[in-house]
C-alpha cells in the first residue's frame, strides 16, 4: 500500500518562469515513484494562458504507441482443425451467458417489486439504482460483484444488500457503497460486510475517493454472531474508514434512510456527511428502545433527523431538503477535493484486428477445450500486436507486452500446464514488469490436475516444478505494480496462486461466465485419494461428491461468495481492463498533503 508520499521541491513556489509550465498539482518524489505504480507525471500541462499542451508523459506515451505499431502481429485466425472445439465452446458460452443475464435480471430488482414499491411509495425514498443515476456522471460505471449474496446458506441476498462499484463524479473516479433498503431494510448480512470490506480494500489499493449512501437497519440480527465480534466483521468497516482518512482518501456519506446502531458510525466517521430531511435518521438506539428505557415516545425525526444532526449534534455537516439536493451536494463536495480528473485519452490506439464476439468460442468449456491463448490475446490487444518475451521457452505460459486502449501492459497468460520452464519464465517476466513499472494482466486458465508421479524421475521433475512455481509466486506477490487477473477458463489448485489468484491481492479479479473455480476438477475426483479411508470406489458417494464439486465450481457460485470482483462478458473484457487501468492511473492526479492523521469530527 502506498501511503507514504512526500512532496518534492518543485511543488514549492518558484520564481523560475519555466515553472509556469508545470502543473499546479502534486509532484511526487522519486522514492514514491519507485514504490508506487510508476505513473510519475501528468499527461497534460495547463499553461498560464489556459491552453493545454501534451505533457512529457503524454508525448512519451505517444512515442510508445508508435513503437507498439511495430510490435509483431498476432495471427488470430481459428484453424479449421480447431473449429469443432470453437463451436462447442460457443454453445457453452451462450448457455452460461443466458444464466448470467437471468441472474442479473433478478438482482436488478433488489428485494423485489413489493419491497421497491413500499420503499418508493410508502417511505418516499429513491431506489438505490435511481440514486446512483443522480450521484454519478452520465456515463457507464463499473459495478463490482453484482451477483454477490445469491444462494447463500441463509437464502438469497440480492447484491449482498448493497451495491458497490466505481463511477465518475465530476470526472473523478469514485468508489461507492450504497445500501439497498429493499433487501430486508438494508440490514447487513455477513456477505454484505464482506462486500463492503472488499470495496474499501479496492479504495485503499487504488486510492479512490469513497462515497457511502447509507440506508440500513444495521446488523441483520438473526446472524449477529457472524457480524459482530471478529476482526473482519462489521467493526472493520469503521476501522477502515479511519485508516483511509489517514491515507488521505476522502470519504463522503449521504444519510438517505435509516442509519441505526453500528451503522450510525459510517456517516459519522467520514470527512463530510449530508443528511436528507425527513428521510435520513441516525441514532445508536431507535424510538422503541427509548420508549422501553424512558417510557417516552419520541419520533425518529426528533431523535436523530437531519435538523438535529446538522444544527445540534454536529454528526452531519450538510442539510439537504431532498435526495436530489443531497446528491448535488456530494458532487459539489467532490469538486472541492482539489483533484484533477484523468484527462481524456490523448493517444490514439488501434482496435484489435479480430472480433471480440469470437471470444465466446475461445472461452473454454473445460480444460480439454482450450485453444491457443494467443487467439484470445489477438482479440484484446491494440492492433492485435504483441511483443512476446521468451517465445520459444516454457511455451505453456505466454508472456510479453502489448497495449490496451493505449495503456502499456505486461501479459502473463496460461497456455497449458505451468511447467518448470514456464514458471521460471513467468517469474523472470513478472520481475521485468516490476522493474519497468508496468501493470500486469494475468489471463488465468490453469490445468485442473497434476499427474501423480509414477517413477522417481517424475517425482524429481515435480519437485523442481514446485520450486519454480514457488519462485513465480514470490515474484507475483512482491511485484509492486498494479495487477489485474481475468479467469478465462479454469482456476484450479496451486497454479492459480502463481497466476495472481485472489489471495495474491490483484487490484481487480474478474471471471468469465464459463470459468470454473475449485481446488480440484470434478472430472479427476476418482483419481484423488479421499480423506479418512482409502475406499473411494463407493459409486453413489463419488457421484454425490462430483455433483457437489461441479455446482461449487461455477463462476456464479464463486461470485456469490465474493471470491472475485464480478463476472464479466468475454466481449466486454477489453473495455473493463481499460477502465480498470484508467481507475488505477487516477492516483497521480491527487493532491496529497503531508498531514498524517485522519480527519476527525470533534
Ligand atoms: N434484523 C433482521 N431483519 C430486519 C431488521 C434487523 N435488524 N430490521 C428490519 N428487518 C426486516 C423486517 O423484519 C422486514 O422483513 P420482512 O420484509 O420479511 O417483513 C424487512 O426487514 C423490512 O423491514 P420494515 O420494518 O418492514 O421496513 P421499513 O422500511 O419500514 O423499516 C427499518 C426499515 C430498518 C427502519 C426498520 O425495520 C427498523 O428500524 N429495524 C430495526 C433496526 C434496528 O433496531 N437495528 C438494530 C441493529 S443492531
- DSSP states along 298-338: --HHHHH-HHHIIIII-S-SEEESSHHHHHHHHHHHHHTS-
Q: How many C-beta atoms surround the C-beta of residue 257 within 10 A? A: 28
Same domain, 392 and 469: yes
Q: Determine the pLDDT at residue 11.
A: 33
pLDDT score recorded for residue 94? 98
**293 CA distance to ligand 1 centroid (A)?**
20
Which has the minimum average pLDDT: 240-254, 460-474, 531-545?
A: 531-545
Indicate if the pLDDT at residue 451 is higher than 90: no
pLDDT score of 40: 29
502 and 436 in a common domain: yes
CB 479 within 8 A of CB 523: no
Ligand 1 atom with minimal separation from the 123 CA: 29
More confident residue, 39 or 94: 94
Which of 187, 256, 259, 260 for mutating ligand 1's site (highest number of atoms within 8 Å of CB)? 187
Q: Do 254 and 377 have their domain in common?
A: no
CA nearest neighbour of 196 among 158, 236, 168: 236
The reply to whether 103 falls in a domain is no
What's residue 263's pLDDT? 85
Instruction: Find the domain containing 272 and state its range.
Output: 122-335
Å from CA of 258 to ligand 1 middle: 10
For ligand 1, pick from 120, 181, 184, 185 the residue to mutate: most ligand atoms within 8 Å of CB. Answer: 185
Atom of ligand 1 nearest to the CA of 281: 35
CA of 231 to the centre of ligand 1 (A): 25
Same domain, 326 and 413: no
Which pLDDT does position 17 carry in this prediction?
34
Give residue 7's pLDDT: 28
598 — pLDDT class (breaks 50, 70, 90) = confident
Q: b or e along 72-100 (b: 16 or more beta carbons within 10 Å of the residue's beta carbon)?
A: eebebebeeebeebbebbbebbeebbeeb
The answer to whether residue 247 sits within a structural domain is: yes
Helix, strand, or coil (residue 350): coil
The atom of ligand 1 lying closest to the CA of 119 is 29
First to last CA, the chain: 28
User: Is residue 102 one of the residues assigned to a domain?
Assistant: no
- Which of 476, 473, 513 has its CA nearest to residue 493? 473
* Cα→Cα distances 110→64, 103, 141, 185, Å: 45, 11, 18, 11
Cell digits for 412? Answer: 502473463
Regarding whether 401 and 298 lie in a shared domain, the answer is no
Indicate if 322 and 390 belong to the same structural domain: no
Q: What is the pLDDT of residues 396-411, one digit of tens each?
A: 999 999 999 999 999 9
Orientation of helix 323-335 relative to helix 128-135, angle to 10°: 40
pTM: 0.88
Residue 460's pLDDT band, with cuts at 50, 70 and 90, is confident
Judge whether 183 and 158 are in contact, CB under 8 Å: yes
Dist. CA 186 → ligand 1 center (Å): 8
Q: Do residues 304 and 257 both lie within one domain?
A: yes
Cα(131) to ligand 1 centroid in Å equals: 21
Structural domains in the chain (count): 2
The answer to whether position 24 is within a domain reads no
Q: What is the mean pLDDT of residues 101-127?
A: 96
Beta carbons within 8 Å of 117's beta carbon, 6+ residues apart: none
Q: Is residue 290 part of a domain?
A: yes
Q: Does residue 134 sit in the same domain as residue 171?
A: yes
Same domain (yes/no): 276, 407: no
Residue 22 within any structural domain of the chain: no
Residue with the smallest CA separation from ligand 1 atom 6 is 220
Name which residue leads in pLDDT, 448 or 566. 566
Ligand 1 centroid–CA 602 distance in Å is 31
| Average pLDDT in the chain | 87
Closest residue by CA, ligand 1 atom 41: 217
Q: Which atom of ligand 1 is nearest the CA belonging to 184?
A: 21
Q: Could you tell me if 227 and 289 lie in one domain?
A: yes
- Ligand 1 contacts (CB < 6 A) are 123, 184-185, 187, 217-221, 258, 260-261, 286
Q: What is the position in ligand 1's atom list of the atom closest to the CA of 186?
A: 34
Q: How much distance in Å is there from the Cα of 307 to the middle of ligand 1?
A: 24
Same domain for 555 and 427, yes or no, is: yes
Confidence of residue 340 (pLDDT cuts 50, 70, 90): confident
**What pLDDT does 58 receive?**
58
Q: What is the CATH number of the domain that holds 303?
A: 3.90.226.10
For residue 296, tell me if it sits in a domain.
yes
Distance 383 CA to ligand 1 centre (A): 54
363, 320: one domain: no
Indicate whether 361 belongs to any domain. yes
Amino acid at each position: 500500500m502506498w501511503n507514504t508520499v512526500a512532496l518534492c521541491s518543485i511543488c514549492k513556489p518558484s520564481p523560475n518562469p519555466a515553472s509556469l509550465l508545470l502543473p499546479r498539482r502534486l509532484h511526487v518524489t522519486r522514492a514514491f515513484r519507485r514504490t508506487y505504480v510508476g505513473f510519475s507525471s501528468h499527461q497534460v500541462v495547463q499553461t498560464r494562458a489556459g491552453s493545454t499542451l501534451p505533457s512529457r508523459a503524454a508525448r512519451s506515451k505517444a512515442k510508445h504507441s508508435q513503437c507498439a505499431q511495430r510490435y509483431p502481429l498476432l495471427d488470430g485466425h481459428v484453424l479449421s482443425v480447431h473449429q469443432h472445439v470453437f463451436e462447442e465452446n460457443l454453445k457453452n458460452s451462450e448457455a452460461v451467458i443466458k444464466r448470467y443475464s437471468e441472474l442479473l435480471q433478478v438482482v436488478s430488482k433488489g428485494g423485489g417489486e413489493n419491497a421497491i414499491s413500499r420503499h418508493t411509495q410508502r417511505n418516499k425514498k429513491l431506489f438505490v439504482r435511481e440514486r446512483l443515476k443522480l450521484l454519478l456522471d452520465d456515463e457507464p460505471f463499473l459495478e463490482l460483484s453484482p451477483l454477490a449474496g445469491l444462494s447463500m446458506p441463509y437464502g438469497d441476498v440480492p447484491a449482498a444488500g448493497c451495491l458497490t462499484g466505481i463511477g465518475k463524479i465530476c470526472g473523478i473516479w469514485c468508489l461507492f457503497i450504497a445500501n439497498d433498503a429493499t433487501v430486508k431494510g438494508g440490514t447487513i448480512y455477513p456477505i454484505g460486510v464482506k462486500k463492503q470490506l472488499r470495496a474499501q480494500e479496492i479504495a485503499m489499493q487504488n486510492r479512490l475517493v469513497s462515497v457511502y449512501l447509507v440506508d440500513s437497519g444495521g446488523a441483520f440480527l438473526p446472524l449477529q454472531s457472524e457480524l459482530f465480534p471478529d476482526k473482519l466483521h462489521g467493526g472493520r468497516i469503521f476501522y477502515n474508514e479511519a485508516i483511509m482518512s489517514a491515507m488521505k482518501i476522502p470519504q463522503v456519506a449521504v444519510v438517505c434512510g435509516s442509519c441505526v446502531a453500528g451503522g450510525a458510525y459510517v456517516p459519522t466517521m467520514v470527512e463530510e456527511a449530508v443528511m436528507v430531511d425527513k428521510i435520513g435518521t441516525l441514532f445508536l438506539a431507535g424510538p422503541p428502545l427509548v420508549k422501553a428505557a424512558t417510557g417516552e415516545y419520541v419520533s425518529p425525526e426528533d431523535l436523530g433527523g437531519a435538523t438535529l444532526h446538522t444544527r445540534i449534534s454536529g454528526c452531519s455537516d450538510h442539510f439537504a431538503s431532498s435526495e436530489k439536493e443531497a446528491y448535488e451536494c456530494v458532487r459539489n463536495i467532490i469538486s472541492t477535493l482539489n483533484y484533477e480528473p484523468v484527462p481524456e485519452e490523448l493517444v490514439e490506439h488501434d482496435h484489435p484486428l479480430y472480433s471480440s464476439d469470437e471470444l465466446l468460442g475461445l472461452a473454454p468449456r473445460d480444460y480439454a477445450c482450450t485453444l491457443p491463448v494467443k487467439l484470445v490475446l489477438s482479440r484484446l490487444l491494440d492492433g492485435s500486436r504483441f511483443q512476446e518475451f521468451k517465445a520459444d521457452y516454457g511455451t505453456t505460459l505466454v508472456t510479453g507486452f502489448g497495449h490496451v486502449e493505449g495503456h502499456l501492459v505486461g501479459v502473463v497468460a496460461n497456455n497449458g500446464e505451468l511447467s518448470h520452464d514456464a514458471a521460471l519464465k513467468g517469474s523472470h517476466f513478472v520481475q521485468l514488469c516490476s522493474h519497468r513499472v508496468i501493470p500486469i494482466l494475468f489471463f488465468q486458465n490453469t490445468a485442473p490436475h497434476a499427474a501423480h508421479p509414477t517413477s522417481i524421475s517424475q517425482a524429481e521433475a515435480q519437485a523442481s516444478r514446485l520450486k519454480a512455481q514457488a519462485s513465480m509466486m514470490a515474484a507475483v506477490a512482491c511485484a509492486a505494480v498494479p495487477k489485474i487477473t481475468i479467469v478465462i477458463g479454469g482456476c484450479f489448485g496451486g497454479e492459480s496462486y502463481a497466476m495472481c489468484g485472489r489471495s495474491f491481492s490483484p487490484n481487480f479479479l474478474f471471471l468469465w461466465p464459463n470459468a470454473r473455480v475449485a481446488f480440484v476438477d470434478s472430472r479427476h475426483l476418482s483419481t484423488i485419494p479421499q480423506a479418512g479411508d482409502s475406499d473411494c470406489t463407493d459409486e453413489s458417494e463419488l457421484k454425490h461428491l462430483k455433483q457437489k464439486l461441479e455446482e461449487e465450481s461455477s463462476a456464479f457460485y464463486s461470485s456469490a461468495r465474493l471470491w472475485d470482483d464480478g463476472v464479466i462478458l468475454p466481449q466486454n473484457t477489453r473495455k473493463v481492463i481499460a477502465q480498470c487501468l484508467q481507475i488505477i492511473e487516477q492516483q497521480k492526479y491527487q493532491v496529497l498533503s503531508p498531514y498524517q492523521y485522519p480527519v476527525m469530527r470533534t
